Structure 1
Amino acid sequence: MKLMKLISSDKILLGLVGLVAVGMSFIYLGKGAVTPPQSIQAKSAATASLTTNSRISALEKELESKLQANILQMEGAGKVQVSVSFSTGLKTEYARNQNVTKSTTKETDKTGGTRETTAVTDNNQVVMPSGSSQPVMVMEDRPEVAGVLIIAEGARDPKVREEIHTAVQTLLNIPSARITVRVMGGP
């Protein structure tokens, strides 16, 4: 008799363990699946990040080319190589539709007391043109220059090195400490 009870309680215990395992697998599989809207949002954010990084790289390359072209025109500079890095990303400001609503309510109770309540609602939304997924841009600033490295053949001459340094500082309007001019070595 005890043996039958033990066997039946083992079957019940085994059944419960099996149910818990199946339930846990459903929970695990349910959390692992990404719903399409989440997937689209993740891809959109990744695309925006890649687009921003490629735009920053393009701006760096454009600035390097312009600086190199200007320095090459300087007397005594010789061959020149320029590297520019930014410390910040693009700064973008979007148009906003700002609505501020103010309402005042005055109440009088039975005993003659008055109570005044003021509610202020501030609605500040980004302006989206109809049919477009991009907001209206008001301003876009270039990133801040972190540093500039110029390697020039003519940098052996201290006068040429100083002229290159001053020209870059003037063109970019950055502190002198962010500019390094070195002598080009090798063949």
Structure 2
Amino acid sequence: MKLQKHINILIEKISSNKKYTNLALIISTGIILLIGISVFVENEDSNLKIDTSISEEKEMASNSIDDYSNKLEIKLKQILSEMKGVGDVEVMITLVETTESVPAINKTSNKETTKENDSQGGIRDVIREESTEQIVTNGSGGEMITIKQIKPEIRGVIVAAEGAEDIKIKENVYNAVKTALDLSGNKVEIYVKK
């Protein structure tokens, strides 16, 4: 009660004195300007964060392709160099596209059938269908939950191997690459390493 009386007295003094009224007006205008500027700066920061996250996703996809290709090359190089008659080996694998992630999707559908009778005795069926799909995300991080990842298709493989001048060794390397990567023969080339 006492606090409310003090506030009312303070308001009366401010409104009766023109200096205090102008000061209160200037202060409230300054506060409004500060709030407006902070909202504008926050919007620019969020746009910058969105642009940064898009470029990071592109870089991660590029790194993902390189990592997948490098892992395949290393494994293939290791197994080929263990084959009888094959010496030092170099392998290059090219891929068609990036790894594709298949997200978990929450699907809901609703079908409603209504029969209506009109005043002339006619019957009509009204069918209403509604469906929605939402990508399921990790609650706290907001990252999508992935069901599976589809690896990129292999465009071609080049192998340079010591010992490939022997036609039998070259054929064994050729068949090993086709089998290991499940490729058709037109995607594999074997060369003699210097």
TM range (shorter): 0.7 to 0.9
Equivalent AA in structure 2 for residue 117 of structure 1: V
Aligned-pair CA distance for 1:38 = 3.7
Alpha-carbon distance in 1 for matches of 2:112, 2:46: 38
Are 1:153 and 2:162 an aligned pair?
yes
Aligned residue among 113, 127, 137 for 2:146: 137
User: Cα deviations across residues 146-168 of structure 1 (Å, max 9, x unaligned)?
Assistant: 11110011111111111000000
Aligned-pair CA distance for 1:36 = 4.2
Identity of aligned residues (%): 26
Match of 1:168 in 2: 177
Alpha-carbon distance in 2 for matches of 1:129, 1:117: 39
Q: How does 1:1-187 map to 2 (within 5 A)?
A: 35-185=44-194
Aligned-pair CA distance for 1:180 = 0.6
Equivalent AA in structure 2 for residue 59 of structure 1: Y
Match of 1:18 in 2: none
Aligned-pair CA distance for 1:35 = 4.5
Unaligned runs of 5+ in 2: 1-42
User: Paired residues, what number?
Assistant: 152
Alpha-carbon distance in 1 for matches of 2:128, 2:181: 49
TM-score (norm 1): 0.76
Aligned-pair CA distance for 1:111 = 2.7
SS of equivalent residue, structure 1 residue 154: coil
Unaligned runs of 5+ in 1: 1-33
Alpha-carbon distance in 2 for matches of 1:35, 1:129: 26
SS of equivalent residue, structure 1 residue 134: coil
TM-score (norm 2): 0.73
Over aligned residue pairs, what C-alpha RMSD do you find?
A: 1.6
Alpha-carbon distance in 1 for matches of 2:44, 2:109: 37
Equivalent AA in structure 2 for residue 66 of structure 1: K
Choose 1 or 2 for highest CA Rg: 2
Equivalent AA in structure 2 for residue 92 of structure 1: S
